[in-house]
Each structure stands twice: as structure tokens, then as C-alpha cells.
Structure 1
Amino acid sequence: MKRSFIEEFEQSLHTGNLPEPDIKACIGILVQDATNRRLIEGVAVQLELQPIFLTANQATPEALIQCELIVADEPDARSIRTLLSQREETGEGVNPAVVAVVPRTPDSVYSYDKSELSFDGILPLPQTPAPVVAQLGLILYSHRAFARRYQDALEELSLNRRIFRSVTSGISVADATRSDLPLIYVNPAFEVMTGYSFEEVQGRNCRFLQNGERDQAAITLIREALRDGRETVAVLKNFRKDGSAFWNELSLSPIRNRDGALTHFVGIQNDVTARVEFEAALRESEKLAAVGRLASSIAHEINNPLESVMNLLYLAERSDAVVDSRTYLQMADRELQRVKLITSQSLRFYKQSTRPQAIACTELADSVLDLYHSKLQNSRVAVERRGRSAQSIVCMESEIRQVLNNLVGNAVDAMHGQGGKLLVRTREATEWRSGERGVAITVADTGSGMAPETLRSMYKAFYTTKGIGGTGLGLWISSEIVARHRGRLIVRSSQRPGASGTVFQLFLPFQGLTP
């Protein structure tokens, strides 16, 4: 059974194992009554303390802090407490334990008000030596234990400060108890990364690093984390003091006190500009690869109706009947409208979105399927479309179109040479983890399915099962796009004979990005 503090002290008295001080311990005595002064001197010897007799004029802070314990008449004890209070507030070290000597009352019980609780002890005198030894011994024991803990905490704080100052990542601390979350600390790495000194950023909200560029998806993630008092990681564009831009990977963490109240936010910043630029180059590479894969399909899609138009115009030219000629021209016009649609969808696919906008998911899905129309027919793939959601989502249209193009293209490739069925369905849904409402887009095929190893590695950059025909970037980029839209991409796949296939479900919140 764990012993109480008092039991540990009583055991130390019997064994003589009081915690040893780091230096020779002294007791300061400022007591006017000669009898009481001799009594305390005798007790000091028993406690192995060096007695030092003080006068009121000698009670300076420099002299007092040389003592581990001070026993003084109550008025002098108050003065000593006042002298030492400022030193204690500034954290300059552990003050001596101060014990106030008061006249012993007839009933041997001393009552005191709350203002006197600032003393480490109250010693009624006169009384026999034994209880004085016990009382001062207990005060000394607790004071030394506190001093040890204080020193350990001081060393730990010093170590933490050295760590904060030596790490290469930028560290910032914001006060969560004040409005606008002002910065109260940044380490040298933050100063080097941003070009701002601590004096220049102290008391400011760190949004000044955005330099007015508030239209970033990552800022939405940060705002929500600050509002909910939770962790998050986001990559956002910041600007140094000299105006140059850099990409900052911010890891934000809340700090709470013992009562669970939020007190601070700690931000860890890393300059990931090189990584972001490299990933942007990879995304552009995948974009170009996707364009190349679609080129043959688009050529077929345009060539077939153009051939029909040429044949229909030939028939109209040779026909003597006006009614027949009009019919041939109307049919040719419909084919030209199809060419126009294909061209429009192609241009929308190649065109990069510059800002989020509202668009219906059924429209996104249909535009991708239209581009694969001929390839689906040639591959003997039957398409089933189910559009149950008419509500729009706010997204980067070109990015979500790229994700759907990748999913549909992979599904068609999985059914190459054997044919099959492709299901594309849109419906309103709720993300079960967050409760957020949005749209679920399902892309399912009856192809060969994926092996467990493929399922584990498919989101890794450059991982491909298509040999030289694949870049290994499609699903990796798609997963990043979905994450930026605060969405979720899940997959189920089977290779069982007669029941093979793959199902991808893409969830996108209605307000994934702020327009």
C-alpha cells in the first residue's frame, strides 16, 4: 500500500533520512524572546541545520535566500514574505520556508485567518522541544521535496526550451484564451523560415502570413480545427517578409490545462515548397497522360458522326425529293450536334478550374461517360446510369472530372477483352464519421478485380499494374484531390470467379470548398 506524505516523513524522522539539500542547510532565526530563540537553536541542531541569528536590519533578500528555513516572529515573518514575494513571482528560484512564531494560547489551539496561510507554518511558543522538532521537521521535509520537484521542473523546462530553439521546424504558440489567438512565442526556425522576428509577430494572428490570399481550401480546414479545438494538418500558401511565397505544411495541435480547458494552440511549420512543386509537376504529367489516353477515344467519337454527316449530305444532294433531303439534313444536324457536344466536353476536361463552383454530380458523370462512348461500345461494356441526386456540390470542376475520368478509365481497362457492365450512380449521402451531408458517386465494374497487394498499394505514387501503359499517378492524384475537397474515396474488390469486379465510392460534401 502506498504510504501517505506524513507517514513517509515520520519514517524519515525515525531513520534520520531527511532529503539532503544540495548545499549546507541553514536556518535563519529572527525571534526576540531569548527562551524561544534558544529552543529553536536546539531544534536546529537536532535537524542538522546551521543556525544563523538575524536582526530586522539584516533581513535583506540576499541574506534570506541563503537560508533553507526561516523562523521569525509573526510581524517579521510578514515582512520577510513581502520581501521574497517578487523573487518568487519572477521565478528566480525557490524561496526559504517561512515559519511565523506566535504566542501560545491558553487552550493550546491557535486560530488564524486566510491571510496568514501564506506562511509555510505557524509555530506557537513556548512549548516543549519534541513537538517543535516534529513540526519544523515536517515543514523542512515538505520544503525539500518541493525544491527537488521545482528543480526537476526547471530543468525540464530548460530542456524543452533548448529543444524548441534547436529543431529545424518552425514552432509557434498562440494564446487560445484571448480573442484573435495572438502569437506569444515563435522559435528561431520560424524566424528563419518567414523572415519575421519574434518581436514583429508577437501579439499578431498568424494570418498575416497569408498576405491577403484567403481563398485557399486549407484555410477552411484550419478554421474548423480552431473552432472545434482539435488537431489538423494543412498545406497553405504563405509569404515571407520579403514578399516571396512558400508552401507551409502546418500541423496544428490544441493544448489544454488540467481541467480540460483549451489554453493554447501549437503550430509546427515546415517549408514544403519543393515537394508541392514536384507534386504539381506529377499532376500535370498525369493530366497530359490522361489527355493522350482520351485522344484516340475522342477521335473515334468525332470521326463516326462526321462520316455519317458526309454520307447524309451525299444522299441529300442526290435526292430529288425535298422531303427526303430535309430529313437527311436534319439527321446530319443531329450528328453535328453530337460533334459539338464531344468537343465541348473535351474542352471542359482540358480546361483548369481557377476557383470552386457549384455543379451537379450527374452532369460531371455524364460528361465523362460521353467521352468514353465509343470506347465503351468497342469494348462491349454496357453502361447503367442512375442519377438520384439533383443537388449541386461546390468543387473544383476540372479536378473532380479528372477523378471520375480516372475511375471510369480504370473500370474500362479492367473489362478489356471480356466486356462487362459499368454502373455509375449518384445519390445524396451522409458521411458517417462526421455526419456531414453530401453526394456519393459510385463507379462499379464487372472486370477482373484487384489483388490484395494492389489494394494496399494503389494510392502510392508510380504504382501501376498496366506496365508501360500506365503512369502510376492516377489514383495517387485522385486521392489528394478528394482529400482537398474534404471527401472520402473507398474501394471494394473481388477476384472470385463469376463474382469478380471493383466498386469505388466517392463521397463529396455539398460544401467541400468555399467558392
Structure 2
Amino acid sequence: MASSTIFKAEVLPNDEDLPQMEAADKPVAVGILIQDAMNWRLIETAATQLELRAVKLQVDRLDFAELASFEMIIAEEPYARQIQGMLGERERQAEGINPAIIAVYIGDRPIGPAGYQVDGVLTLPLEPAPLVAQLSLMLYAHRAFARKYHSALEELHLNRRIFRSVTSGISVANAFEPDLPLVYVNPAFEVMTGYCLEDVVGKNCRFLQRDESSQPGLDVIREAIREGREALVVLKNYRKDGTFFWNELSLSPIRNRHGVVTHFVGIQTDVTARVEFEAALRESEKLAAVGRLASSIAHEINNPLESVMNLLYLAQQTDDPAEVRRYLQSADGELKRVSLITSQSLRFYKQSTRPTAIDPEEMLDSVSSMYAGLMENSNVLLRRRYRTERTIVCLESEIRQVLNNLVRNAIDAMRVRGGTLVLRSREAVEWRTGARGVAFTVADTGSGMSAETIRSIYTAFFTTKGIGGTGLGLWISSEIVGRHKGRLLVRSSQRDGRRGTVFVLWLPFEAGVVGRE
């Protein structure tokens, strides 16, 4: 036995590398099920050398709870198969780590696979020293696995605690199933939606949409799921009690070690307050635009009305029917001018609810005509070049708002020194996607913008006009263009001889945008 003791000291790891014993004065138990008394005594002696407490098992008294309590079970091959079957379901259900099961063969071991999985194999008879060495290695391997298992289990429990404690909703969907059913939601999701875990497991999360199945964000989500990538959208969802809320959904794929997407994790945040605030800002910008146009419209209407009054006075002062007819025709032309201005104003402020087909050239003309008087007073020359033949489908009032904002900003940039306003339209291809559409150009020869200003122009409340500006125009314009699947580009220069700014608004022929609620 001396040689066995020496071998043990060389093979076993240091005490600090091993899991702590359940009790300092109580060795870990090993169950032994061997019928031959001599072989049983041999295994018991080896177990004692490894500081294990040997417990003799009875074939007709195998208890599930007792078996699960051992760190190792050493049994003849038929019984090892039986015990492995009893404990296998426990490990598959992640209810704990099973003891190491060692199958013992008496005599020669059969050639070929055993047909089931064990943690080690012993062939008896065997000399004590090799027996202790083999059991020592098997025990060390099992303890190393147990240490990793418990570490992973602790990490899993930590992740679950994190999932349950975060204030944002978390949902996990199974990517292997065709309809991506939910397999988990955290308590914050339950509070946000009113649905408990039992209500949603096995369902696709689209039940939160109810009848809102035509939202633009859903196309983004479907494409992200199809391509296995991240996505961030805002969706209109409904709680269990029927009330709606705006849900900012961040979707991320979870991949296994082979790179295959196994699950999708959704982070839900209730952004109803933010969406309502942004809607209020859009309305305030609409009202601000009314104020900015008020003086221009008043000037444009006042001039033809004064002409009408003068023409009617002249018609009353003459007895020549031909002169009267000529005065009245001129007055009629001025009144038509007033009617055109008012109708264009109504078209600008009438809220679009559905996309309609519009003529790009008519759109630019109607917007620029609103500022004819302002351009004349500011010594701004208008140049136009239109090269479009097709209409575009969009929310008319929103695109008018964007073009109005660009034109007004261009005129404001030239009100001190005057200059040239260039309006162009042409058919163009978006180089990133290959989509065809129309490019609107609004260019001015004003003071230009610095690089720092250009970086901030789409930020809410940023303005270079002091108290005369709201800082919302371009921020809202960029949001409108994005929902129309378009692009808004800008370049500017402050160099002498080349001062000015150019905005290019590209819109697809068929934007596919839907109106707001």
C-alpha cells in the first residue's frame, strides 16, 4: 500500500484546486455495487486511499435520491447501465449534476461501444496502485467538470437575476421554430404589457400589434430576422387591457458557437412620452412655419388686392365699355392670383393621411411662389431647371413642409446681401440601393455654413437664427425624409467667391410610407 500512497500524492491536484467538502470531518461518499466480495473490498480500499467514504449498494434497494447524493458510483456494467438510465433524465432536465458513473467489467472488456455513456471504465482484477491511479484521474476529471458546471450555473443564475431586475422589457424567441415563439419574458415585460409569462410563451410577439400590421417598422423587423442582424424600431403596441403604447424595440440575434442564430432577444422600452413630445414639437414647428409664412402671404395677397381696388375705381370713372372691360379683366387676373396663393397655402397646411402622386415641378413652383414677394424685397433672383417627367408618391403636406423649410432657409441666408436661389429637379438613382427617384436641389449663394454647423443642423433646437428660429425645421425635415425612405444631403462653403449652400433631397418614386395616426 505504500506505493499507492506515494502515487496518490503525485497524481491528485492540490487541495485548493478541489471543491470544498460538504463537511470538514465527513468524507465524500462513493456508492459501490459489486457482487464479488473480494473485488468490493479492493474498490473500498482504493476509495479509502482517495479519502472517499465507501457505501455498499444493494441491487434491490436502489433509491433515486440516494444515488443522486453520491459524488461517484462504481458498479458492475449491467448495474451501471441501470443507474445511468435512472439518473439520465435528471441531468437532461438541468436539475443538477449527476455523480460520476464508473462501469466495472470482470475479466476482459467487450470490444465496441457500450451503447450508453459513462464517466469511466474499470477492468478487474487490477493491482491496487493502478486502480488508485485510474480512480484518481476519473475523480479529478469529474470534479473539474463539476467545478465548471457550478460556475456556469452561477453565471446562469446571475443572468436570470439581471434579466428579472432590469426595468426594460426583455423577451426571448426561439429562432429554430418557424413562427419564432416566445420562450421567456422578464417581469418588466409583464408590467409593461399586462401579459404574464404563461400568457405569451409559445406565441409570436405580433399579438402586441393587434390590427396595426402595416407599420413601417415591421418591415425593418422582418428584414432583420431574415438576415439575422440587429434592428431598432418604434412600434405601436397594445397592452392586455386594450390601451396602446409606443414600444421602442431593440432586436438582437443570439448565435451558438457555430454562428447559427438560435434565439432573438428583444429589449422593449415604453417611449410613449417621448413620441408624444416629438409629435408636439412637430405641431409646434408647423405653427412656427405658419408664422414665418404669414408676412409673406399677407404681402403676396395685399399687392393684388390693392390692384383690384385701383382697377375697380378706374372702371367706375370711365364711360368707355372697352376700357371698363379691360379693367375688369385685369382685376379678374389679380383675383385669380389671390385664389392661387390661398389654395397653395391650404395645400401646404392640410394634413396628408395617405400617400398621393404629385408633380415635382408643380411642387417646387407652388412652394417658391409663396415667397415671391420676400425674394423681391431681399434682392434674390430665382432660377429654375426642371427635368422630371414622372410623379412621385408621398405624403404631400409633409414633403411641402420639407421643401418650404429648405427654400425659406436659403432666402434667409441671402436677405442681407441678396443672391441667387436655384431650384432644380431631375430623375436620379440612389447609389447605395439602386432605387430610382427624383432629386430636388435647393441651392443659394448666401453666407454658407461651417463644418461644425453642418454637424449640428439636424439636432433638435439647434439654430443659427437666434430668437427668430425654433431649431426644429431641419430636425423634423430629416425625420420626414427618413420615413419616406429618402435622403437629405448638404454641402456648404464659406470661401470667398464660392460661398453658398446646396441641399439635395432625394425621394423614391414609390416611397411606401404610411400616414401617422
Q: 1:357 to 1:25 in 2, by over 3 A?
A: farther
Measure how far apart 1:287 and its partner are. 0.7
In 2, are the aligned partners of 1:104 and 1:110 still within 8 Å (CA)?
A: no
Measure how far apart 1:279 and its partner are. 1.6
Amino acid at match of 1:417: V
Moved more, 289-298 or 387-396: 387-396
Measure how far apart 1:408 and its partner are. 1.3
User: Take 1:412 and 1:26, find their aligned partners in 2: how far apart are those partners?
Assistant: 89
Partner of 1:251: 250
Work out the percentage of aligned pairs sharing the same amino acid.
64
Measure how far apart 1:157 and its partner are. 1.3
Q: 1:357 to 1:113 in 2, by over 3 A?
A: farther
Moved more, 127-136 or 184-193: 127-136
In 1, are the aligned partners of 2:441 and 2:505 still within 8 Å (CA)?
A: yes
Amino acid at match of 2:380: V
Q: 1:42 to 1:268 in 2, by over 3 A?
A: same
In 1, are the aligned partners of 2:11 and 2:133 still within 8 Å (CA)?
A: no
Partner of 1:441: 440
1:75-154 matches, cutoff 5 A = 75-105=78-108, 110-113=110-113, 115-116=115-116, 118-154=117-153
Q: Which runs of 5+ in 1 are unaligned?
A: 1-9
In 2, are the aligned partners of 1:426 and 1:442 still within 8 Å (CA)?
A: yes
Partner of 1:296: 295
> Secondary structure of the equivalent of 1:499?
coil
User: Take 2:512 and 2:331, find their aligned partners in 1: how far apart are those partners?
Assistant: 42
User: Take 1:26 and 1:412, find their aligned partners in 2: how far apart are those partners?
Assistant: 89
1:222-241 matches, cutoff 5 A = 222-241=221-240
Measure how far apart 1:62 and its partner are. 1.2
Q: 1:265 to 1:358 in 2, by over 3 A?
A: farther
Measure how far apart 1:447 and its partner are. 0.9
Asked if 1:68 is matched to 2:71, the reply is yes
Measure how far apart 1:300 and its partner are. 2.1
Asked if 1:22 is matched to 2:25, the reply is no
Measure how far apart 1:82 and its partner are. 0.7
User: Take 1:427 and 1:178, find their aligned partners in 2: how far apart are those partners?
Assistant: 47
User: Take 2:362 and 2:220, find their aligned partners in 1: how far apart are those partners?
Assistant: 27
Amino acid at match of 2:81: R
Q: 1:252 to 1:42 in 2, by over 3 A?
A: same
Amino acid at match of 1:238: N
Partner of 2:193: 194
In 2, are the aligned partners of 1:167 and 1:189 still within 8 Å (CA)?
A: yes
User: Take 1:313 and 1:394, find their aligned partners in 2: how far apart are those partners?
Assistant: 43
Deviation track 1:58-83 (CA, whole Å, cap 9, x = no partner) reads 43221112221211111000100111
In 1, are the aligned partners of 2:484 and 2:513 still within 8 Å (CA)?
A: no
Deviation track 1:84-127 (CA, whole Å, cap 9, x = no partner) reads 0121122110001111112443xxx75222623x1112222223
Q: When the two structures are superposed, what TM-score results if normalisation uses the length of structure 1?
A: 0.89
Asked if 1:173 is matched to 2:176, the reply is no
In 1, are the aligned partners of 2:439 and 2:505 still within 8 Å (CA)?
A: yes
Measure how far apart 1:313 and its partner are. 5.3
Partner of 1:417: 416
Partner of 1:468: 467
Moved more, 34-43 or 399-408: 34-43
Q: Which runs of 5+ in 2 are unaligned?
A: 1-6, 22-26
Deviation track 1:456-504 (CA, whole Å, cap 9, x = no partner) reads 3322222221112111111222222223333333322221122111222
Q: 1:129 to 1:384 in 2, by over 3 A?
A: farther
In 2, are the aligned partners of 1:110 and 1:124 still within 8 Å (CA)?
A: no
Partner of 2:43: 40
In 2, are the aligned partners of 1:394 and 1:511 still within 8 Å (CA)?
A: yes
Q: 1:237 to 1:86 in 2, by over 3 A?
A: same
Deviation track 1:185-241 (CA, whole Å, cap 9, x = no partner) reads 221111211222222222222222223133433333333333333222222222222
User: Take 1:237 and 1:12, find their aligned partners in 2: how far apart are those partners?
Assistant: 68
User: Take 1:126 and 1:291, find their aligned partners in 2: how far apart are those partners?
Assistant: 100
User: Take 1:511 and 1:315, find their aligned partners in 2: how far apart are those partners?
Assistant: 52
Deviation track 1:301-348 (CA, whole Å, cap 9, x = no partner) reads 2233334445555666748474x7666655544443333322221101
> What is the root-mean-square deviation in Å for CA atoms of aligned residues?
2.7
User: Take 1:457 and 1:134, find their aligned partners in 2: how far apart are those partners?
Assistant: 72
Partner of 2:4: none
Partner of 2:394: 395
Q: 1:172 to 1:370 in 2, by over 3 A?
A: same
Moved more, 67-76 or 352-361: 352-361
Amino acid at match of 1:289: A
User: Take 1:388 and 1:114, find their aligned partners in 2: how far apart are those partners?
Assistant: 80
Measure how far apart 1:432 and its partner are. 4.1
User: Take 2:460 and 2:288, find their aligned partners in 1: how far apart are those partners?
Assistant: 15
Amino acid at match of 2:32: I
User: Take 2:434 and 2:28, find their aligned partners in 1: how far apart are those partners?
Assistant: 64
Partner of 2:284: 285
> Secondary structure of the equivalent of 1:115?
coil
In 2, are the aligned partners of 1:218 and 1:484 still within 8 Å (CA)?
A: no
In 1, are the aligned partners of 2:425 and 2:439 still within 8 Å (CA)?
A: yes
Amino acid at match of 2:71: E
Partner of 1:7: none
In 2, are the aligned partners of 1:427 and 1:441 still within 8 Å (CA)?
A: yes
